[in-house]
């Protein structure tokens, strides 16, 4: 006790200084937006590089599985390319071939940026992922993150070599999805129970969802391309107190608990579309 | 410390606080070279605390001054951080500048007690340290070190001028 008192007397000034500086630092980070952003960014970079290191160290264990799935994706894509090529070929021979088809095709170009997930959570209310690609690789805020079978989330903020993605397993995530073969759509939300089951809300009554139907992205949001398969209908709740919408439980194709390779969707016209929407809002 | 001395410093505390918060805060402009300049005069309170003030009291008073200035600037913690460091480093600087015979601990480090040259050197070192810490805390990253140094230099010139004027006008003994 005596010794402790002596220490406090001896180093009292320094301890007080340290304490008050920490207090100031806390105040700065807590109440000044700019400084808070810098702090968060640095913190994300720091933890990101640690996660990256761990990922690098144990990443090779997944190589085999990653290879297999990449090969499968390649094959499917090649098939799709072939079918489109045939389609375009047929159109060219058609006398009604529209002269502006080329510009139409170019308008819908998506660029996919492959990325690895280096941090992932599925257990909290607000789940985020961290990717190993950032602004240096062309990733920007509000871009969608997808798999070949399913959607993962939306990029919230980017550093130079990392991107923070709001998972679809997040309270505030409401991507738009529709029932394959129809134009009826609703918003997909997570009910915080099972990371494989999401709820498709606000589907109008006159739609006829059946168990086993496929749910795809609607393309109405500016973020995800149209037609990515998300999951299948597991159950349709219609007895919801006389409301005029269905609630549909969707079982995801993708297992969000074990993500490795994902694609960030960069849409060439995304900025333009966002500008238009913004303009419309401003008016 | 006699009561007079305490009273003097309490008055100086609030005087400089109000001067800083109500007058010099308004001397900030968004354009040209003035955008780099923050005139900070409140550190003078910390410069002038009596030599025998206990160290924790110097640091505590400096923090209090900083956090109150922050209230005027809507920047919680930034001035407080710089002022706290100033309070902490003051004895070190006093150590560098110690006259051959040592200090008379009953004095305050003023121009009247230790002479013009001594005071100019003393306040210049402390002001530079304070401004550098302040602008670093404001930028919160050393990525813009060039801008921080430019801020420090330009603000130093103007702030130092006003501190000099203050000492000329009031020329306090203690």
- Residue A61 is predicted with a pLDDT of 76
**Which superfamily is assigned to A62-268 in CATH?**
Rod shape-determining protein MreC, domain 1 (2.40.10.340)
> Angle at Cα B99 formed by Cα B93 and Cα B105, nearest 5°?
80
- Residue B4 is predicted with a pLDDT of 86
- Residue A277 is predicted with a pLDDT of 74
Give me the helix-helix angle, A33-58 and A2-31, nearest 10°.
100
φ/ψ bin of A181: left (φ > 0), alpha (ψ from -120 to 50), beta (otherwise): left
Residue B41: band (very low, low, confident or very high) from pLDDT cuts 50, 70, 90: very high
Question: Cβ atoms within 10 A of the Cβ of A105, count?
Answer: 11
Contact A32 B75 (CB under 8 A): yes
Residues B70, B79 contacting (CB under 8 angstroms)? yes
- Residue B119 is predicted with a pLDDT of 93
Q: Among candidates A206, A145, A203, which has minimal Cα distance to A170?
A: A145
> What residues of chain A have any CB closer than 8 angstroms to a CB in chain B?
12-14, 16-17, 20-21, 23-32, 34-35, 38-39, 42
How far apart, in whole angstroms, are the C-alpha atoms of residue A97 and residue A108? 18
Task: Tell me the backbone φ, ψ of residue B39, rounded to 5 degrees.
Answer: -85, 110
- Residue A96 is predicted with a pLDDT of 60
Q: Kindly report the average pLDDT of chain A as a whole number.
A: 80
Q: Is the pLDDT of residue A87 over 80?
A: no
Closest partner residue to A24 among B58, B60, B84, by Cβ? B84
| Residue B119 Cα, gap to closest chain A Cα (Å) | 24
Closest partner residue to B137 among A12, A23, A28, by Cβ? A28
User: Does B80 touch chain A if contact means CB atoms closer than 8 Å?
Assistant: yes
User: Does B81 touch chain A if contact means CB atoms closer than 8 Å?
Assistant: yes
- Residue A85 is predicted with a pLDDT of 66
User: Does B65 touch chain A if contact means CB atoms closer than 8 Å?
Assistant: no
CB pairs under 8 A between A and B: 68
Contact A24 B141 (CB under 8 A): no
Q: Is the pLDDT of residue B11 over 90?
A: yes
Residues A273, A222 contacting (CB under 8 angstroms)? yes
Residue A107: band (very low, low, confident or very high) from pLDDT cuts 50, 70, 90: very low
The percent of residues in chain B predicted with pLDDT above 70, rounded, is: 99
Give me the helix-helix angle, B55-73 and B3-18, nearest 10°.
20
| Residue B38 Cα, gap to closest chain A Cα (Å) | 18
How far apart, in whole angstroms, are the C-alpha atoms of residue A245 and residue A206? 9
The position carrying tokens 């909290």 is: A124
Q: How far is CA B47 from the centre of its chain?
A: 6
DSSP B52: T
Cα dist from A149 to A75, A164, A259, A270, B78, whole Å: 14, 21, 12, 22, 49
Q: Is the pLDDT of residue A145 over 80?
A: yes
Contact B56 A16 (CB under 8 A): yes
Residues A251, A149 contacting (CB under 8 angstroms)? no
Task: Please report residues of A whose CB lies closer than 8 A to that of B77.
Answer: 23-32
Convert the pLDDT of each residue in A186-214 to its tens digit. Answer: 889 888 778 888 988 888 877 778 888 88
Q: Is the pLDDT of residue A98 over 60?
A: no
Lowest mean pLDDT among A31-45, A132-146, B90-104: A31-45
Q: How much is the average pLDDT of A47-66?
A: 80
The position carrying tokens 């805390």 is: B137
Q: How much is the average pLDDT of B62-80?
A: 92
Closest partner residue to A13 among B67, B70, B88, by Cβ? B88
Q: Is the pLDDT of residue A168 over 60?
A: yes
pTM across the whole model = 0.54
Interface confidence, given as ipTM, is 0.87
How far apart, in whole angstroms, are the C-alpha atoms of residue B119 and residue A225? 70
Closest partner residue to A25 among B70, B77, B138, by Cβ? B77
Contact B137 A24 (CB under 8 A): yes
Task: Please report residues of B whose CB lies closer than 8 A to that of A159.
Answer: none
Residues A114, A273 contacting (CB under 8 angstroms)? no
Convert the pLDDT of each residue in B113-172 to its tens digit. Answer: 999 999 999 999 999 999 999 999 988 888 889 989 999 999 999 999 999 999 999 988
What b/e readout covers A11-34, taking b as 16+ CB neighbours within 10 angstroms?
eebeebbeebbebbbebbbeebee
Q: Is the pLDDT of residue B54 over 50?
A: yes
Q: Is the pLDDT of residue A172 over 60?
A: yes
Token pair, residue B167, equals 């000492």
Domain boundaries of chain A, sorted by first residue:
2-59, 62-268
Lowest mean pLDDT among A224-233, A237-246, B147-156: A237-246
Q: Is the pLDDT of residue B44 over 80?
A: yes
Mutant choice from B76, B83, B94 vs A, greatest count of A C-beta within 10 A: B76
């Amino acid at each position: 006790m005596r010794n402790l008192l002596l220490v406090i007397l001896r180093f009292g000034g320094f301890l007080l200084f340290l304490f008050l500086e920490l207090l100031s630092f806390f105040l700065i980070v807590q109440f000044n937006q700019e400084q808070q952003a810098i702090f968060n960014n640095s913190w994300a970079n720091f933890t990101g590089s640690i996660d990256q290191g761990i990922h690098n160290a144990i990443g090779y264990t997944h190589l085999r599985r990653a290879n297999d799935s990449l090969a499968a994706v390649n094959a499917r894509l090649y098939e799709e390319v072939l079918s489109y090529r045939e389609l375009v070929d047929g159109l060219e021979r058609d006398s009604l071939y529209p002269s502006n088809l080329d510009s139409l095709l170019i308008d819908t170009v998506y660029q996919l940026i492959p990325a690895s997930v280096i941090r992932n959570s599925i257990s909290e209310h607000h789940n985020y992922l961290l990717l190993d690609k950032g602004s240096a690789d062309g990733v920007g805020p509000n871009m969608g993150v997808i798999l070949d079978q399913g959607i993962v989330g939306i990029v919230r903020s980017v550093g130079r070599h990392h991107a923070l993605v709001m998972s679809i397993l997040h309270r505030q995530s409401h991507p738009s999805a529709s029932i394959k073969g129809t134009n009826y759509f609703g918003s997909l939300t997570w009910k915080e129970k099972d990371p494989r089951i999401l709820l498709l809300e606000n589907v109008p009554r006159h739609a006829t969802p059946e168990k086993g139907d496929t749910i795809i992205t609607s393309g109405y949001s500016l973020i995800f391309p149209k037609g990515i398969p998300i999951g299948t209908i597991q159950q349709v709740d219609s007895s919801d107190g006389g409301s005029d919408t269905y609630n549909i439980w969707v079982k995801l194709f993708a297992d969000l608990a074990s993500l490795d390779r994902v694609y960030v969707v960069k849409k060439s016209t995304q900025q333009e579309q966002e500008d238009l929407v913004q303009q419309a809002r401003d008016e | 410390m006699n009561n007079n001395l305490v009273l003097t410093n309490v008055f100086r505390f609030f005087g400089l606080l109000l001067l800083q918060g109500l007058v010099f805060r308004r001397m900030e402009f968004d354009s040209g070279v003035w955008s780099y300049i923050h005139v900070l005069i409140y550190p003078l309170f910390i410069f002038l605390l009596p030599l025998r003030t206990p160290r924790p009291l110097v640091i505590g008073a400096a923090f209090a001054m900083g956090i109150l200035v922050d209230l005027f600037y809507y920047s919680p913690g930034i001035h407080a951080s710089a002022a706290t460091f100033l309070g902490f480093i003051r004895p070190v600087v006093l150590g560098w500048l110690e006259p051959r015979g040592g200090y008379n601990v009953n004095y305050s480090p003023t121009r009247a007690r230790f002479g013009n040259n001594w005071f100019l050197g003393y306040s210049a070192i402390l002001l530079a340290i304070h401004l550098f810490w302040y602008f670093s805390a404001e930028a919160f990253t050393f990525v813009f070190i060039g801008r921080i140094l430019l801020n420090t230099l330009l603000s130093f010139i103007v702030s130092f001028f006003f501190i000099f004027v203050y000492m000329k006008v009031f020329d306090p003994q203690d």
